[in-house]
């Protein structure tokens, strides 16, 4: 029996998703490791023009529970509203919790941060890289959606390089601004000073 090679990322379900921000089209993708990623789209994104896009990595604590220890949930909220205001765009939600280290390790890193380490040194103390995320799934999803060039909503230059390394042209960067609070100011400062995040 001949086995058919499976795509690295494959669309497995789609539906309409009405939200508090407006109506999106939701597409679920399965990757070769069995992780399920999501793309939310607004309007036509396969017309060849650059598409407003955000690649958002899963953050259970910020996205779901409203944690003030990071700026993830607020960035997600801003992006969903921005895409609806533009009337066209893509939000890709990658299942790469804690910059790819997983939920349990993220919480272990949080505990080390409470003891005085910053987000980078906490990862290193656990024997983990600063950032383990892989942007190939995002690039594959964008290709499936017919998107070849993006205006990327990000402060993270690694996302720009990660997409371009997998054949997606980033023609513009749009910053996402979240006002820091007393809980996440050290985290945001460490991302800028030690991980090269842009203002």
Is 133 marked active-site?
yes
Q: Which two tokens stand for residue 72?
A: 């993830």
Active site residue: 54, 99, 108, 133, which one? 133
Active site residue: 131, 134, 136, 173, which one? 131
Is 47 marked active-site?
no
CB burial string 74-109: b at 16+ within 10 A, e below: bbbebbbebbbeeeebbbbbbbbbbbbbeeebbebb
Residue 166: how many CB atoms within 10 A of its CB?
Answer: 16
Q: What is the largest CA-CA distance in the chain?
A: 60
Are the C-beta atoms of 64 and 93 separated by less than 8 Å?
A: no
Measured CA to CA, the distance from residue 136 to residue 142 in angstroms comes to: 10
Active site residues: 131, 133
């Amino acid at each position: 029996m001949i086995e058919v090679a499976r795509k690295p990322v494959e669309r497995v379900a789609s539906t309409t998703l009405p939200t508090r921000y407006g109506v999106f089209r939701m597409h679920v993708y399965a990757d070769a490791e069995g992780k399920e990623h999501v793309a939310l789209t607004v309007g036509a994104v396969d017309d060849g023009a650059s598409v407003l896009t955000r690649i958002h990595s899963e953050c259970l604590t910020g996205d779901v529970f409203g944690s003030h220890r990071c700026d993830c949930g607020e960035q997600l909220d801003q992006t969903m509203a921005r895409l609806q205001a533009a009337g066209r765009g893509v939000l890709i939600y990658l299942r790469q919790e804690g910059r790819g280290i997983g939920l349990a390790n993220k919480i272990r890193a949080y505990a080390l941060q409470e003891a005085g380490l910053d987000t980078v040194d906490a990862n290193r103390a656990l024997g983990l890289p600063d950032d383990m995320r892989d942007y190939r799934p995002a690039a594959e999803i964008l290709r499936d959606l017919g998107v070849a060039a993006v205006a990327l909503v990000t402060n993270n230059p690694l996302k720009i390089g990660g997409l371009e390394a997998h054949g997606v042209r980033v023609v513009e960067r749009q910053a996402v601004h979240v006002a820091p609070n007393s809980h996440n100011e050290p985290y945001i400062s460490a991302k800028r000073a030690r991980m090269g995040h842009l203002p």
